C-alpha cells in the first residue's frame, strides 16, 4: 500500500473517531435520578431542608447535580411544601409522603424519590401510624384498606388502632412468601394492628 493511500486511510479513521465521539456526547441520556438525602423526619412545623437531585447519565457516563432542572413535587400536600429548587418546608408533624424529582429526558421519563414523615406519626397527637413494608424476591404486596402497593420498600399512614391486612401476590420463580412483623398471618396474608409505627417484611422464595 502506498504512503499516500495510508495517509488517506489514517485521515478517514481519525474523522470517524471524532464523529463517533461527537455523536456519543450529543446522545447523552439520563438513566436515573437519586434524591439526597433519601428521607427526612420533621420534628416541628417550619423545619426546613434542602434536597438534591443527582442525575446519572450514559453516552458518555456522567453524574451531576440536576436539582434546578427537575420537577419537584410532594404527594402529601398537608405535610410540607417544596420549592422549584428542592427546598422543603414542613407544614405539619402529622402525615407522610414521597418527595419526587422527575425529568422528561427523551427517550426516557426519569424520577427519583425520598420518603418524608412527621415526628407525630405513631402517636395520639396525630391519631396515625406509619406502616412500612419491605419486599424482597419475586412478588408484590398490597393492603386493605388501600395504601400499600409495592415491590421494594413502601409505606403508608393509617388511622391509629385500625387493622390492615396485607396480601401477597407470588411472582414468577417464587413458590411462597415468608412474613415477619405480622400480628397474625396465613400463607399469603398478614394482619397488622396499627398501634403505632409498624414494619413488615415479606420475603418471596
Query: Which of residues 96 and 26 earns the better pLDDT score?
Result: 96
Q: What is the average pLDDT across 124-134?
A: 91
Look up the pTM and report it: 0.62
Q: Which CATH class is domain 28-119?
A: mainly beta
Decide if pLDDT at 174 tops 60: yes
Express each pLDDT in 31-51 by its tens digit. Answer: 999 999 999 999 999 999 999
User: What percent of the chain has a predicted confidence (pLDDT) above 90?
Assistant: 71
Q: Is the model more confident about 50 or about 9?
A: 50
Q: What percent of the chain has pLDDT over 70?
A: 87
What does the pLDDT read at residue 22?
42
Band the pLDDT of 151: cuts 50, 70, 90.
confident
121-130, 180-189, 195-204 — which is least confidently predicted? 121-130
* Cα–Cα nearest to 182, from 118, 134, 115, 122: 134
pLDDT of 78:
83
Span 85-89, mean pLDDT? 97
Note the CATH architecture for domain 121-205: Sandwich (2.60)
The two domains 28-119 and 121-205 share their CATH topology (first three levels equal)? yes
Position 116 scores a pLDDT of 92
In the chain, what are the domain boundaries?
Answer: 28-119, 121-205
Identify the pLDDT of residue 12.
52
Q: How much is the pLDDT for 7?
A: 56
Which pLDDT score, from 0 to 100, does residue 155 have?
85
Amino acid at each position: 500500500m502506498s504512503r499516500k493511500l495510508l495517509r488517506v486511510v489514517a485521515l478517514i479513521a481519525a474523522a470517524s473517531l471524532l464523529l463517533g465521539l461527537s455523536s456519543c456526547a450529543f446522545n447523552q441520556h439520563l438513566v436515573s435520578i437519586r434524591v439526597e438525602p433519601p428521607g427526612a423526619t420533621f420534628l416541628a412545623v417550619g423545619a426546613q431542608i434542602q434536597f438534591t437531585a443527582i442525575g446519572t447519565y450514559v453516552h458518555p457516563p456522567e453524574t451531576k447535580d440536576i436539582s434546578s432542572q427537575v420537577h419537584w413535587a410532594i404527594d402529601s400536600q398537608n405535610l410540607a411544601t417544596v420549592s422549584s429548587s428542592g427546598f422543603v418546608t414542613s407544614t405539619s408533624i402529622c402525615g407522610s409522603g414521597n418527595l419526587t424529582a422527575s425529568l422528561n429526558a427523551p427517550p426516557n421519563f426519569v424520577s427519583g424519590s425520598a420518603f418524608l414523615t412527621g415526628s407525630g406519626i405513631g402517636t395520639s397527637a396525630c391519631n396515625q401510624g406509619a406502616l412500612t413494608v419491605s419486599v424482597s424476591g419475586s412478588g408484590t404486596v398490597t393492603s386493605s384498606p388501600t395504601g400499600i402497593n409495592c415491590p421494594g420498600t413502601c409505606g403508608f399512614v393509617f388511622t391509629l388502632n385500625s387493622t390492615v391486612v396485607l396480601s401477597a401476590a407470588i411472582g414468577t420463580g417464587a413458590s411462597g412468601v415468608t412474613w415477619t412483623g405480622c400480628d397474625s398471618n396465613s400463607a399469603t396474608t398478614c394482619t397488622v394492628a396499627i398501634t403505632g409505627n409498624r414494619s413488615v417484611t415479606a420475603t418471596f422464595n
